[in-house]
Structure 1
Amino acid sequence: MKKIKVLDCTCRDGGYYNSWNFNIDEINQYLLSCSKAGVNIVEIGFIFPNGNEYGLFAYSQEKLFSKLKIPKNLEICVMINAKDFYEKKSVHQIKKVFQNSKLSPFKIVRIAINFNDFNYGLKISKDLKSLGYKIGFNLMQSHNKKLNQIANIGKVISKWKSVDYLYFADSIGCMDPSYVSYFCKALKKYWKKDIGIHAHNNKSFALINTLEAIDAGATMVDSTMLGMGRGAGNTCTENLLIELKKRKFDYRPKYLADTLPYFQLLKNKYNWGPNYYYHFSAANNIHPTYIQKILTSNKYSNNFIIKIIENLTQQKSEIFKEDYLNNQIYKLKDSEGNFEAQNYLKGKKVLIIGSGDSGNKESKKVEEYIKKYKPTVISLNINPYIKNKYIDFYLSCFDFRVFFELSEILKKNKPIITPLNRFKNNLKLDLKKEKIINYGLIVKENSFKSYSNHCEIDRPLALTYALAFCKIANPKKINLAFIDGYKDNIKENRYLSKIIGKFQKQIKSKIIFLTKSILN
């Protein structure tokens, strides 16, 4: 019987849902359970070259390993994104990030790289090999490849003599068992070392495809606890071990019982797994991150989600790009407005309200504040906490909400501040009689500038747009309420804090938070 190695990559792939913030005690239990169950390798996380906006499992440094209790029979692995290294200069060179493997708590490094860009991985793999690591080479976007392409990639990489495990990844989740078998057999023509598969579950084929890969010659198979992973998730470790045990491989899935409840709690929270939208995206070669971003926002109706996905089918959406979720889906154009905002709120107190969870407990307090101090209240999009009679303006820019909520906002018979020229051609509304404050918006990288009829900001977020509007409208005081920040998104919190800091510096005045906020 051939030797199979199961690599559980929950802490790496699952981090796309919780920003790589896992509970250390629970992960130590997970490591123990994996050890007892016979899992061969655990991929503990990524190594992003720099930054600190994510949790410890995004960087896999000493600070993390000092907290972990790693069983001796478990091999530990990390992953890098090749583009983090070949798109950067010397500051990100491999030998400045990695020490010799003899001094490292992990001995395997996997390199994630797109199939069509594989040649960029040559130097990276050789540099890592020179440090003594075993090298896994993960070919992302491996779908829809021709026989000669697959065979050739195996031939070329085998000549490098720096790669130990050659993986193919079903990044889009569109592979079926026949293609998996076809890929393995084509790769084996010249590649004589271990073949691995990383399956995604968009079409509920992840386990089937993984078993098919084994039948076709694969010896390295990826999985995650309860399938936790980007988009629809991956092959479930617990189910894979059950199937492998039936095939007489030495795995003991019963020992996962002590760790699965933790991941069930995470699944209840983040709700990964296959569904109609992921299946549709896989069938149309749409990267699953688009669907994950849309679904985890919890903002959109089912019909609206379908419209978004249908638009994505008209784009080249196999590779995820944030731009497609911003300016390209609705073909929005930067534009100036026709409203002169200069000193529009001069001398007034302004209260900007969001829709954070703090509103559940503090809405009465904020309404009392409004009654007492009578500020001009600007609501970011529709507000679930403050009565319409206390709101003076609604504000909405982009984030799909304009398309979804504008008609509802207009029913409230209050003025709306919005960059109308960016999207009015896409709206099926008669806006001639509506109270529209058409303040323009131009997206420009690293910019935060306000002009009389438009602003320049780097992302079309409601809070950023509101602050840019207030900057030129010149109120004497600004307070915020229900702008909570994000519990599991350090990167986004840093961005919002940076914007608030820029605003305060430019107007030389301090913003007061009336309710609890991570950003304060």
Structure 2
Amino acid sequence: MKKEFKTLDCTLRDGGYYTNWDFNKDLVFDYCKTMEVLPIEYVEIGYRSTPLNGYLGEYFYCPKHVMAELKALMPTKKLTIILNEKDIRGHHVEELLKPCLKYIAMVRIAIDPKNFKRAIELAKAIKLMGFEVAFNVMYMSNWKQDSDFLNGLEGLEDTIDYFYMVDSFGGIMPNDVIDIMTLVKTKTNVKLGFHGHNNLEMALINTITSINEGCEIVDCTITGMGRGAGNLKTELFLTYLNKVKNIEIEYTKLGKVVALFEEMKKKHGWGTNLPYMFSGAFSLPQKQVMEWVGMNRYPMSSVVNALKNQTEDIKDNFKLPTLQKKEKIYNSAIILGGGKSAKNHNNAIKKLINKEKNVCLIHAGARNVSDYLDVKCDQFYALSGFESEKLLSNINDHTKLSQTCIYPPFPRVMGTVIPKEIKSISKELSSISFTKSSTESPLTIAIQIGLDLGVYNVFLVGFDGYDALINQTQQILAQENQAIINDLLLIKNLNVLALTPTKYKNLSTSSIYSLI
């Protein structure tokens, strides 16, 4: 049976948000060979972009050799690239798209509705080069309240081939699809498309609804891989087409490539979860949720609490007593990180604490707290995100906690969720004065505690750094820690010394054993 609509798979483009647009060559080969035998008309291979700051992989730029390779692997498919309208202007088009002419059939443009008029000029320049052109207009769930931009669709039938409705927040319901499509049809005769996100696991039913209402092209990705909660699963949609429309599917090849992406999913963890569900239901940006979840710093409860606060316009849930700044109450602060060296040199660290006068121990996180419960010095726990829960789980008997828990200044980005067991011994910083790199990092909090207590020696132990082969989360944390350390080293009249091996740059290092 012939389909009355077209399908576009955009795995390499949308999935790139998790891999920084780099994919294993063998994986791409298997993916392309599978696409070639599936009933999918368009395959979007990535972004095409002008140079931007920071590293972005080959499928963000899609150089000519990549397009040539993928076209050779998928000769019968209409290859597609997408432009991010906020970064591209008409004068970029000739240089950016001329190398694409032999390989690319359609150019899509990702558009914020507020820039709709500006995007029309870009589309005209692209159309003149001979490409099919599609508008991917974001924030569909807001269109009922803010639809004035749709008036710009009048007369665009010769400029764009498809007008895509993009459920950016993943919160659209089937009735919304019907209502919005009805509205759009009053403005244009351009063919309609739908790109659904899966925050509320409505991507399949919303896509089916859009087809039933006349959509002529819809999007999907293998295993739903895509920004935030991801998209309609290609394998699910094709199975639906096999069942309902008797369209033949090469399940053996499809199954192989799905298995490869499922293996990758174990590392990157795309797909919906409670924070994405909440953000979808209340049309909150996925980018922020993706950052919070991807950092692996915050528990689900904190992320949902932060999102709930946004919907209610609450800056924070409550204020804690403030840690009072003091002059030179301690000579030195030992700041304890979570690296293996903190455990490996446990005895030496304790001997240094016993030897030093007027020293305090500040835990940058809760990983090693149970090893130091018997130490006879004042201790402070720098806490954010998961660290409160870690503190309690690492100490079976919370009555043993007689030290002070310190949180970032009010208001905290995530709001405040503090276990009742430690609320009475919890305080907050009055401010973060030495860095703007991160206010939520346990390292930032730990350093600020030391500064507020007036120390002039900061000894860092357990800040091992990471090996060259690290995952994306570790890379982000390593970069964050390095930026915080760089700011720390700018403070005058402060002696900063690493006492255990470290891969962080610029730090003066000495052996803890030389001091005991």
TM-score by length of 1: 0.75
Q: Which whole-Å CA distance do the structure 2 matches of 1:59 and 1:398 have between them?
A: 37
Q: Which whole-Å CA distance do the structure 1 matches of 2:372 and 2:505 have between them?
A: 26
| Residue 259 of structure 1: aligned partner | 257
Q: Assess, with a 3 A threshold, how the Cα gap between structure 1 residues 287 and 191 changes in structure 2: closer, same or farther.
A: same
**How far apart are 1:138 and its partner, in Å?**
0.7
| Residue 113 of structure 1: aligned partner | 111
Which residue of 124, 128, 131 maps to 1:126?
A: 124
Is 1:80 aligned with 2:83? yes
Which residue of 430, 450, 454 maps to 1:440?
A: 430
Is 1:500 aligned with 2:485? yes
Q: Which whole-Å CA distance do the structure 1 matches of 2:505 and 2:30 have between them?
A: 33
* Paired residues for 1:45-64 under 5 Å: 45-47=46-48, 49=50, 50-61=52-63
Which residue of 316, 330, 344 maps to 1:330?
A: 316
**How far apart are 1:237 and its partner, in Å?**
0.3
CA contact 1:336–1:421 (8 Å) conserved in 2:
no
CA contact 2:438–2:484 (8 Å) conserved in 1:
no
| Structure with the greater alpha carbon radius of gyration | 2
Q: Which whole-Å CA distance do the structure 2 matches of 1:297 and 1:309 have between them?
A: 16
Greater CA deviation, 7-16 or 504-513? 504-513
What secondary structure does 1:231 align onto?
A: coil
What secondary structure does 1:159 align onto?
A: coil
**How far apart are 1:292 and its partner, in Å?**
4.1
In structure 1, the gaps of 5 or more residues are: 87-91, 316-327, 443-448
What secondary structure does 2:239 align onto?
A: helix
Which residue of 401, 419, 436 maps to 1:412?
A: 401
Q: Which whole-Å CA distance do the structure 2 matches of 1:430 and 1:154 have between them?
A: 57
| Residue 153 of structure 2: aligned partner | 156
- Per-residue displacement from partner, 1:352-404 (whole Å, max 9, x unpaired)? 303xxx54xx5541324424654864321222576133696434365586799
Aligned AA for 1:464?
Answer: T
Q: Which whole-Å CA distance do the structure 1 matches of 2:479 and 2:308 have between them?
A: 33
Q: Which whole-Å CA distance do the structure 1 matches of 2:67 and 2:496 have between them?
A: 40
Q: Assess, with a 3 A threshold, how the Cα gap between structure 1 residues 231 and 506 changes in structure 2: closer, same or farther.
A: same
Which residue of 269, 276, 281 maps to 1:283?
A: 281
Q: Assess, with a 3 A threshold, how the Cα gap between structure 1 residues 332 and 15 changes in structure 2: closer, same or farther.
A: farther
| Residue 366 of structure 1: aligned partner | 345
Q: Which whole-Å CA distance do the structure 2 matches of 1:291 and 1:263 have between them?
A: 22
**How far apart are 1:415 and its partner, in Å?**
3.9
Q: Which whole-Å CA distance do the structure 1 matches of 2:83 and 2:37 have between them?
A: 27
| Residue 168 of structure 1: aligned partner | 165
**How far apart are 1:441 and its partner, in Å?**
1.9
Is 1:487 aligned with 2:471? yes
**How far apart are 1:84 and its partner, in Å?**
3.2
- Per-residue displacement from partner, 1:16-43 (whole Å, max 9, x unpaired)? 3344343222122111111122332222
Is 1:11 aligned with 2:12? yes
CA contact 1:345–1:475 (8 Å) conserved in 2:
no
Q: Assess, with a 3 A threshold, how the Cα gap between structure 1 residues 212 and 429 changes in structure 2: closer, same or farther.
A: closer
What secondary structure does 2:156 align onto?
A: helix
Q: Assess, with a 3 A threshold, how the Cα gap between structure 1 residues 67 and 414 changes in structure 2: closer, same or farther.
A: farther
Q: Which whole-Å CA distance do the structure 1 matches of 2:450 and 2:268 have between them?
A: 35
| Residue 320 of structure 1: aligned partner | none
| Residue 446 of structure 1: aligned partner | none
Q: How many residues align?
A: 484
Q: Assess, with a 3 A threshold, how the Cα gap between structure 1 residues 519 and 252 changes in structure 2: closer, same or farther.
A: farther
What secondary structure does 2:140 align onto?
A: coil
Aligned AA for 1:163?
Answer: I
Which residue of 448, 455, 465 maps to 1:473?
A: 455
CA contact 2:298–2:385 (8 Å) conserved in 1:
no
Greater CA deviation, 231-240 or 270-279? 270-279
CA contact 1:77–1:108 (8 Å) conserved in 2:
yes
CA contact 1:109–1:136 (8 Å) conserved in 2:
yes
- Per-residue displacement from partner, 1:482-520 (whole Å, max 9, x unpaired)? 554961145554444334334446669886584676889
Q: Assess, with a 3 A threshold, how the Cα gap between structure 1 residues 350 and 111 changes in structure 2: closer, same or farther.
A: same
Q: Assess, with a 3 A threshold, how the Cα gap between structure 1 residues 379 and 271 changes in structure 2: closer, same or farther.
A: same
Q: Which whole-Å CA distance do the structure 1 matches of 2:416 and 2:201 have between them?
A: 39
Q: Assess, with a 3 A threshold, how the Cα gap between structure 1 residues 145 and 395 changes in structure 2: closer, same or farther.
A: same
- Per-residue displacement from partner, 1:461-485 (whole Å, max 9, x unpaired)? 2323444566773326544425549
| Residue 234 of structure 1: aligned partner | 231
Q: Which whole-Å CA distance do the structure 1 matches of 2:27 and 2:336 have between them?
A: 39
CA contact 1:396–1:402 (8 Å) conserved in 2:
no
| Residue 32 of structure 2: aligned partner | 31
Q: Assess, with a 3 A threshold, how the Cα gap between structure 1 residues 482 and 100 changes in structure 2: closer, same or farther.
A: same
CA contact 1:420–1:440 (8 Å) conserved in 2:
yes
| Residue 444 of structure 2: aligned partner | 464
Question: Superposition RMSD on alpha carbons, in Å?
Answer: 4.4
What secondary structure does 1:255 align onto?
A: helix
Q: Which whole-Å CA distance do the structure 2 matches of 1:141 and 1:24 have between them?
A: 33
Aligned AA for 2:371?
Answer: K
| Residue 272 of structure 1: aligned partner | 270
Is 1:340 aligned with 2:319? no
What secondary structure does 1:110 align onto?
A: strand
| Residue 222 of structure 1: aligned partner | 219
- Per-residue displacement from partner, 1:422-457 (whole Å, max 9, x unpaired)? 569997979998585x64325xxxxxx53xxxx665
Q: Which whole-Å CA distance do the structure 2 matches of 1:218 and 1:435 have between them?
A: 55
| Residue 510 of structure 2: aligned partner | none
- Per-residue displacement from partner, 1:154-204 (whole Å, max 9, x unpaired)? 762643843222100112222222332333343334433332110122222
Aligned AA for 1:205?
Answer: M
TM-score by length of 2: 0.76
CA contact 1:35–1:73 (8 Å) conserved in 2:
yes
Which residue of 67, 71, 74 maps to 2:74?
A: 71
CA contact 1:180–1:213 (8 Å) conserved in 2:
yes
CA contact 1:441–1:457 (8 Å) conserved in 2:
no
Q: Assess, with a 3 A threshold, how the Cα gap between structure 1 residues 396 and 57 changes in structure 2: closer, same or farther.
A: farther
- Per-residue displacement from partner, 1:48-79 (whole Å, max 9, x unpaired)? 54023444333434586588664222333233
Q: Which whole-Å CA distance do the structure 1 matches of 2:192 and 2:371 have between them?
A: 60
**How far apart are 1:140 and its partner, in Å?**
1.0
Greater CA deviation, 65-74 or 396-405? 396-405
CA contact 1:47–1:78 (8 Å) conserved in 2:
yes
**How far apart are 1:419 and its partner, in Å?**
4.7
CA contact 1:122–1:160 (8 Å) conserved in 2:
no
Aligned AA for 2:471?
Answer: K
Instruction: Name the % identity.
Output: 24
What secondary structure does 1:340 align onto?
A: coil
What secondary structure does 1:98 align onto?
A: helix
Q: Which whole-Å CA distance do the structure 2 matches of 1:264 and 1:473 have between them?
A: 50
CA contact 1:281–1:288 (8 Å) conserved in 2:
yes
CA contact 1:158–1:190 (8 Å) conserved in 2:
no
Q: Which whole-Å CA distance do the structure 2 matches of 1:163 and 1:306 have between them?
A: 39
Greater CA deviation, 501-510 or 53-62? 501-510
